[in-house]
Chains A and B, each alone.
Chain A
Amino acid sequence: MQEFVKATSQAGASSHLATAGQRESQTRVINRAKELLADGTVARVLGWKAGDLPYNPEPAYFEKEEDFADFVYNGFCGANLSKYMIEASKLEGKTLVCLKPCDTYSFQELMKEHRVDRDKAYIIGVGCKGKLDIEKIKAMGIKGIQSISGAELEDEAETLTIQTIYGEKTCAYKDAMLERCHVCKGKDHMIFDEIIGESKETKDADRFTEVEKIEAMSPEEKFAFFQKELSKCIRCNACRNVCPACSCRKCVFDSNKFDSAQKANVDSFEEKMFHIIRAFHVAGRCTDCGECSRVCPQGIPLHLFNRKFIKDIDELYGEYQAGADLEPRTPLTDYRFEDAEPGIVAERG
């Protein structure tokens, strides 16, 4: 059912073809969505609406035929729409939702937790060739951006061509990709009603490399590293609010009976408390979708917390990928008599 386009090095494919490719893929999604809206299968479509800059599409609902003029799906559509399905599941009728391969893990995990209603969703699995990180592009010194080409879904171009008021700039698509796409879980959709569009493998790194680097540090170095990173935290809660696993109706950090206010950046302890506990609360349920790191305004590598838990779970309780199945037992709601003792932490050194 799914076609994979091999990562080929056809650098410099003509932009004419690229535009056609983009239109074709996007048009197929749009046409199908319009069909399903018209025949009453779905009441609304959840996708991305083109922004007013070349790189800021926003998650949006489309209910009328004319709304689709703004529908867009390209390399900047990184947002995981599974989280929005929690609210959409409460609405009347079905919602057509566009999910990328990694988003489907989150959706399935939410199903397992009864936070989304499968019967209220019509899932179109959209293809993915890696999503782009505008922060990375800007970090290369590219500013005053007017237009970006090469970010389209089915574009074979390996480079992005960026028109800025300070001249034309280019950068490799790969270098502008989100961290999570370099350690992609694969381009298979875990759950879908139909798939539109092709994907391209983007994995070129191991997701635990960074974690291992930190594990090898001395306690002083580890502490210095995290202290530096977490001192940037502004307690905006974007990581929590974007996280599909953080789906509690009321977060413990929002409780007014709780000692530490969720918004108070008062002492370095509070940031550590928040991030450790948040990662712990999603341990065994985190699909490693990477949204927390994507949205952090201060660029804190929050995935390092989640991946530490994933790595430990894999090593101690067997390989586990949250969201890959609908098996109700997760590592932290399960046990074996012969499980490792907590002393193993000290023994491993």
Chain B
Amino acid sequence: MYKIAKENLTALFQKIASEQELYLPVKTAGQTNFGVWTEDAQVDLDTLKTVKSPKDAFFPQSETLYTCIRDGKKLKIEPEALKDQNFVVFGMRGCDVKGVEVLDRVFLVDPLDTFYAARRDHGTIVALACHEPEETCFCKVFGVDAADPSAADVATWIIDGTLYWKALTEKGEALTETVKDLLEEDNSADEIVEKEKASVRDIVEKLPYMHLSLEGWNGDVLMEKFEDPLWDELYKPCLACGTCTFVCPTCQCYDIKDYDAGRNGVQRYRCWDSCMYSDFTMMAHGNNRKSQKERFRQRFMHKLVYYPANNEGMYSCVGCGRCVEKCPASLNIVKVIKAFQKQGGEQ
């Protein structure tokens, strides 16, 4: 394991950024989101959760797929180039890393999403373990260890002003090689990190949402859950905005639209879609889900029933708690799970 003093992190970022693009939590106008590192970016590693999840790095909110340009009497189609430069995402949390795994199972299966695949191939994930998890976190419920982001390429911990660095994959080793000059090998680090992990796990045990039960939620309960009258009540405070879906690290629905850029041609782009929106999956014949209840139900059924049905029981919620924090009507997946649980208890 390696270590580096926190005050030397700027040098580390400079070093990484000199060779490849570096995304990390940056504070802009009071809010922390993942952004590209620049000399004057205000890096913020203290905020536990960025407002938006880092899924943008692999699946941007909007991206052009191809452009059609009139060329005399012909139409020229110019596909957008795939990502061909390496980049690093620094500071993803354990839940965010798990979120990428959820996206992989959607975009990296047949038919392969080439735009996403190219980004995954070129991206290296440096995860940062949580130091002070919060009351809105429930990652443990989905098998994520806040104290040990082991699914990343590199795992790091910040303990008492020192960042500990542990490469976990080949990609991680390669990145470590490029910044080795700045890192210091430390054989006693394991012990310190283990102690930190234990203390974080202790905190996790104390958090109110960490013991949420997912009993009754799996891929086999489709009709039973779908037709449950409880949805008629649950959706009512929902304002039909897209906050929960846009801050979520696993929501993967997108819409494809055209933009007429005049002489620059027509750009076909895709942008994140939200199942909460009235035009979600709108087709020529109209809309599949006509009421807000149906749209609201879709989000939770997808995360807790449809996705597990297609992915050996893996849920597509990672318990990051962003929706819990940001919903304007204070609705969220935890309240939904609890409501069904309560109902189950009464029956």
**A and B in contact, CB less than 8 Å:** yes
What residues of chain B lie closer than 8 Å to A266, measured between beta carbons? 62, 259, 269, 271
Chain B: residues with CB nearer than 8 A to chain A?
28-31, 33, 48, 51-52, 61-62, 132-136, 203, 206-208, 236-237, 239-243, 245-247, 255, 257, 259-260, 269, 271-274, 277-279, 282, 324, 326, 328-331, 334-335, 338
Report whether B29 and A232 are in contact in the complex, using a CB–CB cutoff of 8 Å.
yes
Report the separation of the CA atoms of residues A231 and B36 in the bound assembly, to the nearest whole angstrom.
Answer: 14
11 sample A-B contacts, Cβ–Cβ < 8 Å, listed by A number? A56-B324, A59-B236, A165-B207, A236-B243, A238-B242, A241-B240, A241-B328, A261-B255, A263-B242, A295-B328, A297-B247
Q: Determine how close the nearest CB of chain A comes to the CB of B343; give it in whole angstroms.
A: 14
What residues of chain B lie closer than 8 Å to A52, measured between beta carbons? 208, 334-335, 338
Report the separation of the CA atoms of residues A297 and B248 in the bound assembly, to the nearest whole angstrom.
Answer: 12
Report the separation of the CA atoms of residues A235 and B335 in the bound assembly, to the nearest whole angstrom.
Answer: 25
Known: A53-B136, A58-B330, A266-B62. 20 other contacts (CB 8 A): A52-B208, A59-B329, A60-B237, A84-B237, A145-B135, A165-B206, A165-B207, A234-B246, A236-B246, A236-B247, A237-B241, A237-B242, A238-B241, A242-B239, A264-B257, A294-B328, A295-B243, A297-B51, A298-B31, A299-B30
Report whether A298 and B51 are in contact in the complex, using a CB–CB cutoff of 8 Å.
yes
Say yes or no: A53-B135 contact (C-beta < 8 A), given A144-B203, A241-B239, A297-B326: yes
Pairs of residues from A and B, 4 with the lowest C-beta to C-beta distance, nearest first: A295-B328, A56-B330, A238-B241, A264-B271
Say yes or no: A259-B259 contact (C-beta < 8 A), given A79-B329, A144-B134, A232-B31: yes
Digitize A191-220: 1 where CB-to-B-CB distance is under 8 Å, 0 elsewhere: 000000000000000000000000000000
* A52, A229, A256, A297 interface centre (most CB from chain B within 10 Å): A297
A321 close to chain B: CB less than 8 A: no
Report the separation of the CA atoms of residues A261 and B277 in the bound assembly, to the nearest whole angstrom.
Answer: 12
Q: Is the interface of A mostly helix, strand, loop or mixed?
A: loop
Report the separation of the CA atoms of residues A165 and B207 in the bound assembly, to the nearest whole angstrom.
Answer: 8
What residues of chain A lie closer than 8 Å to B279, measured between beta carbons? 254, 256
Q: Determine how close the nearest CB of chain A comes to the CB of B280; give it in whole angstroms.
A: 9
Report the separation of the CA atoms of residues A229 and B136 in the bound assembly, to the nearest whole angstrom.
Answer: 26
Report whether A241 and B334 are in contact in the complex, using a CB–CB cutoff of 8 Å.
no
What residues of chain A lie closer than 8 Å to B282, measured between beta carbons? 256
Q: Which residue of chain A has its CB nearest to the CB of B35?
A: A231
Q: Which residue of chain A has its CB nearest to the CB of B272?
A: A263
Q: Determine how close the nearest CB of chain A comes to the CB of B297; give it in whole angstroms.
A: 17
A146 close to chain B: CB less than 8 A: yes
Please pick, from A61, A229, A238, A299, the residue contacting B328 in the complex, using a CB distance under 8 A.
Answer: A238
Please pick, from A51, A237, A262, A263, the residue contacting B330 in the complex, using a CB distance under 8 A.
Answer: A51
Report whether A232 and B33 are in contact in the complex, using a CB–CB cutoff of 8 Å.
yes
Report the separation of the CA atoms of residues A52 and B326 in the bound assembly, to the nearest whole angstrom.
Answer: 15
Report the separation of the CA atoms of residues A232 and B269 in the bound assembly, to the nearest whole angstrom.
Answer: 20
Report whether A228 and B242 are in contact in the complex, using a CB–CB cutoff of 8 Å.
no
Q: Which residue of chain B has its CB nearest to the CB of A228?
A: B29
What residues of chain A lie closer than 8 Å to B278, measured between beta carbons? 254
Q: Which residue of chain A has its CB nearest to the CB of B242?
A: A236
Report whether A234 and B52 are in contact in the complex, using a CB–CB cutoff of 8 Å.
yes
A265 close to chain B: CB less than 8 A: yes
A143 close to chain B: CB less than 8 A: yes
Q: Determine how close the nearest CB of chain B comes to the CB of A212; give it in whole angstroms.
A: 20
Say yes or no: A242-B272 contact (C-beta < 8 A), given A144-B135, A261-B255: no
What residues of chain A lie closer than 8 Å to B272, measured between beta carbons? 263, 265
Q: Which residue of chain A has its CB nearest to the CB of B233?
A: A61
Report whether A60 and B236 are in contact in the complex, using a CB–CB cutoff of 8 Å.
yes
* B207, B237, B239, B274 interface centre (most CB from chain A within 10 Å): B239
Report whether B132 and A59 are in contact in the complex, using a CB–CB cutoff of 8 Å.
no
Please pick, from A57, A146, A234, A237, the residue contacting B247 in the complex, using a CB distance under 8 A.
Answer: A234
Report the separation of the CA atoms of residues A79 and B272 in the bound assembly, to the nearest whole angstrom.
Answer: 27
Please pick, from A58, A165, A263, the residue contacting B274 in the complex, using a CB distance under 8 A.
Answer: A263
What residues of chain A lie closer than 8 Å to B338, measured between beta carbons? 52
Q: Determine how close the nearest CB of chain B comes to the CB of A282; give it in whole angstroms.
A: 16
What residues of chain A lie closer than 8 Å to B51, measured between beta carbons? 232, 234, 297-298
Report whether A242 and B273 are in contact in the complex, using a CB–CB cutoff of 8 Å.
no
Q: Which residue of chain B has its CB nearest to the CB of A231?
A: B28
